[in-house]
Every structure is written in C-alpha cells, then in structure tokens.
Structure 1
Amino acid sequence: MRRYALEIPISAEVETWLNEVRYFAGNIPFILIGNKLDLIETIGRVIDKQQAEEFARRKNSIYIETSAKTGKNVDDAFIEFTRLIINSVEAK
C-alpha cells in the first residue's frame, strides 16, 4: 500500500517509489490510497479521481480514497489489499 494526501497532486515521488518497489519486489499487489478524503469538502479536490484511478491502472494497481479521520473506506482498503494478496498467492 502507498498512501498520499489528497490535498496534493500525485507526485513524481509516488511513481519513482512504485517503480523502485516493482524493480526489487516484482509485480507484487499494490494499492494507491488517497488519504484525507474528509478534506475534500473543505479545500476542494486537488487531484481528479479519474486521473488517480488511471494512474493506478497504468501501474497494474488499484486506487482507493480514504479518511483516517472519519474512517471512511479504511476497512475497504485493507479488505481489498488482503484480497489482492490472496489472489496473488493462489495464482502462484
């Protein structure tokens, strides 16, 4: 899992980090998590959700938005990550 704050755009740092992970660990399950979903109502959306989903798709990953403050989608992120790990193990 890789988390970033929704109030800032997906940076080159995220892409570099993911490329390094994939280089050393192969095609392991990966979820890009946009956190601080609760701030969207206050500050507005900085990154387009479709853009983030497309970025994740290009990287053979999935994208989920969460709020640690409210707990929204946090359980879903862990459930999805667990599902990806199980599917990865079963495929081997």
Structure 2
Amino acid sequence: LLSPDARMLASQSIVILLCGNKKDLDTDREVTFLEASRFAQENELMFLETSALTGENVEEAFVQCARKILNRIESGELDPERMGSGIQYGDAALRQLRSPRRTQAVSVQECGC
C-alpha cells in the first residue's frame, strides 16, 4: 500500500514510480498488469514492470523518473534552488547552471590553455 506520508511529507511535485518486480516470473504473478496499472493511475504514480534477474526495464525506471523530474524543473513546477524542493545538484559545477525559465544566460568559460 502507498504510504500517505510520502505525499504529506514530500514536495507537492514528488515523482513516485511503482515498480512491479519479478516480471520474469510471469506465471507466478499475484497481481495482474491491469490491476497494478490501474492502482498506479488511481494514485497518480508512474508504473513499470521490471526484472532484476534479466535487467528488463531496470535502467528505464531510473531514466523515466529522471526525465519526469527534469520536465518538472524545465516547466518551473520544481525549483532546485528552493530549499525543500527535494532536489540537489551532485556536482558543485552544476550548481552554476540556470533553469531555462530564467532570462539570464549561462556563461561558458573558455579554456585558458
């Protein structure tokens, strides 16, 4: 079950991905694709079936989640500069990047070789 804490304690723009694992054991499934898909839709979740054994959709889960977060940043729905946004830059150099919705251009430093 989906914990209400995730929605209550996180950013309003939280991205949640429901992964149905063990896709490779299709004959032993306890939840149908339709049931899981419907649950995800009713709870506004992204949904993918994955298999850790075969690797199917494992990378895709991260890519889709990251893409959704990036889309929310680009649309202005999420602001990485705002404290409590739940987003932080990993590399200090990336902190200099500006959101596309801002009017200031990012300065590119030339090589001094």
Fold-level match, TM-score > 0.5?
yes
User: In structure 2, how many angstroms separate the alpha carbons of the residues matched to 1:50 and 1:56?
Assistant: 10
User: In structure 1, how many angstroms separate the alpha carbons of the residues matched to 2:75 and 2:42?
Assistant: 21
TM-score (norm 2): 0.61
Which runs of no fewer than 5 residues in structure 1 stay unpaired? 1-13
Partner in structure 2 of residue 30 of structure 1: 16
Higher-Rg member (1/2): 2
Please, what is the CA RMSD of the aligned residues? 1.3
May I ask how many residue pairs the two structures share in their alignment?
Answer: 75
Larger RCO: 1 or 2 (CA < 8 Å, sep 6+) = 1
| Deviation, structure 1 residue 48 | 1.3
Partner in structure 1 of residue 6 of structure 2: 21
Divergent runs of 4+, >4 A: none
Which runs of no fewer than 5 residues in structure 2 stay unpaired? 77-113
Structure in which a larger fraction of residues adopt strand: 1
Structure in which a larger fraction of residues adopt helix: 1
In structure 2, give the amino acid aligned to 1:58.
Answer: E
TM-score (norm 1): 0.73
| Deviation, structure 1 residue 91 | 2.5
Percent identity among equivalent residues? 36
| Deviation, structure 1 residue 39 | 1.6
In structure 2, give the amino acid aligned to 1:74.
Answer: V
